[in-house]
Chain A
């Protein structure tokens, strides 16, 4: 479906079977499929976790938590059933990589779930796929069926005497369900309202049992790590930031697409070389480095290494790998408005700072961009956002606040240029299309 791209600097690990017909199980087997899980069957759980730790793999969903460590948190002596939950609720704006993995290499996800299962002594795993990705649910259902038919899943997998079941599960439209505790609520058939932590899912997760929750790309990386060597994977990246990852380039670039690049790759190079630069000879104004929840970087801040620590040093986050490039013809007030429209729409309403904060901020930004802004609004936007930080069960409140704070701080002049009823300097015509009843403040 979605077009594939390539660039000479890419190191294809997770994406190496893209476009090769690996949805077919026999083709997947030809391409070294299901070898890693057989290797894992001959290893102890501690040895599997040790390999993942050595690889330096960190969660590809957004938080970047070390995967091996996450697996090691599952209590070994718990008498309860244990579960693996693969998070395919990909919804972070700017992110479209899990879609490609599920489309081109669904068996690698199943294999990753199985390896995680062997590492923590779980006997079943669930692959949660967002409702909008119906065609991927269909692909996954077939892949699971085929794996059962070959005896790779179910009782006595690969003749090992061990049991492992994998099931798919479909969502029905909710960004917040991508947060791990909300994901479990959703899988249990409830509203995706987050749970308070601790206890963490590794101890009390699905149906009260220990649960490992990992992103699609994280789990899809695990078979490659076991098969090709943990150290080799680690060496692709930078210290403490092992491996490669799928970066989703979008926005104002000539060659948008999903590229698999080593961690630590230069952001500047990613935009100008891999992405082919900015269309129409325009200049960069800002870059969202890791999905819409991450603070934006200005054109002066893009000479950085794209790994978790490098982007953190620049005051933002590597996040989900969604790199959105914004050119200098874009109004940042309007951009902030669209970001807040999203979070206001997706806030579940459970925590008051997020529910009220996103709504208030959306209304303020709508009015502000339409020419109804007053000077005190600018500080108020900042103040409201700062008061959402860290005051909610799940990070959705933070995710709404962080980019907004960065935009107000770094592009304050653009807010000032909208004051006193002036039309948007970047789109004087478009402004009149928006609202106007809200002008009476």
Chain B
């Protein structure tokens, strides 16, 4: 299992930050997922081995955190916030708009592997609602038209 040099450097540094090695588990899983696209069996085995954990321990932790996934996702994961502040400003319409535009539902991926769609809980953009994240990028004060332009931009990228 090979990760990038940046990943290895960060990992080597992070394990020195805590009195217990296990403490790096959650951020390490997320960074590994960013590189591989999802937490494959191979990634889980590698991280478990590095941290002296059982694979089951790692899987137990993965299933708790909503950003971690053991299934591949599209290149761009479109996450629409449908919590209260966003819902009051039209998030429901946005979410349905994205479903229609991408032709997929919650946690599905387009057949070309470009986009996944996810209905997520509060992302901390309440005063700039409605909002979404595409991977880690925030997009705020959205309208269906703005969403179209943003998604088309990713498609071209």
Contact = CB atoms under 8 A, between A and B. Distances in A.
Given A1-B138, A189-B23, A251-B84, A256 B129 contact: yes
A431 to B, nearest CB: 12
18 contacts: A90-B124, A93-B83, A93-B126, A96-B126, A96-B127, A132-B136, A133-B124, A167-B18, A171-B65, A190-B25, A191-B60, A251-B84, A251-B85, A256-B128, A324-B126, A342-B84, A345-B121, A433-B96
A210 interface: no
Contacts of A186: 26
B61 A190 contact: yes
Nearest to A255: B127
B122 A174 contact: no
A330 B88 contact: yes
B20 A258 contact: no
A56 interface: no
Chain A interface residue count: which class?
A: 35 or more
B97 interface: no
B128 A3 contact: yes
Interface string B124-139: 1111110001001010
Given A94-B122, A172-B68, A324-B88, 8 more contacts: A91-B121, A91-B124, A93-B84, A170-B26, A173-B66, A174-B65, A191-B63, A252-B88
Contacts of A251: 84-85, 88-89, 129
Given A250-B127, A257-B127, A191 B64 contact: yes
B147 interface: no
Interface in B106-157: 121-129, 133, 136, 138, 140-141
Contacts of B128: 2-3, 96, 256
A248 to B, nearest CB: 5
A283 interface: no
B84 A324 contact: yes
User: Which of A190, A207, A249, A326 is the most central at the interface, judged by chain B CB atoms within 10 Å of its CB?
Assistant: A190
Contacts of A93: 83-85, 121-122, 126
A64 interface: no
Interface of B: 17-20, 22-27, 29-30, 51, 60-61, 63-68, 82-85, 87-89, 92, 96, 121-129, 133, 136, 138, 140-141
Contacts of B138: 1-2, 135
A299 to B, nearest CB: 15
Contact of B127 (A135, A258, A330): A258
Contacts of B136: 132, 134-135
A339 interface: yes
A94 B89 CA distance: 13
B81 to A, nearest CB: 9
Contacts of A335: 84, 87
Contacts of A126: 17
A338 interface: yes
Which 8 interchain pairs have the tightest Cβ spacing?
Answer: A173-B67, A189-B25, A173-B66, A189-B22, A172-B65, A250-B126, A191-B64, A170-B27
A338 B26 contact: no
A2 B140 contact: yes
Given A173-B65, A191-B60, A338-B87, A132 B126 contact: no
A174 B64 contact: yes
Interface in A373-389: none
A320 B138 CA distance: 22
A432 B92 CA distance: 14
A175 B64 CA distance: 11
A342 B83 CA distance: 7
Nearest to B138: A1
B66 A174 contact: yes
A194 to B, nearest CB: 12
B15 to A, nearest CB: 11
Interface string A1-13: 1110000000000
A94 B85 contact: yes
B67 A132 contact: yes
Given A131-B67, A330-B88, A335-B84, A249 B127 contact: yes
Nearest to B63: A191
Nearest to A134: B136
User: Which of B24, B30, B68, B83 is the most central at the interface, judged by chain A CB atoms within 10 Å of its CB?
Assistant: B83
Contacts of A324: 84-85, 88, 126
B30 A96 contact: no
User: Which of B25, B63, B133 is the most central at the interface, judged by chain A CB atoms within 10 Å of its CB?
Assistant: B25
A389 to B, nearest CB: 21
A345 B118 CA distance: 13
A96 B23 CA distance: 27
Given A172-B68, A207-B20, A251-B89, A189 B61 contact: yes
Nearest to A133: B124
A342 B87 CA distance: 12
B19 A2 contact: no
Contacts of A359: none
A292 B83 contact: yes
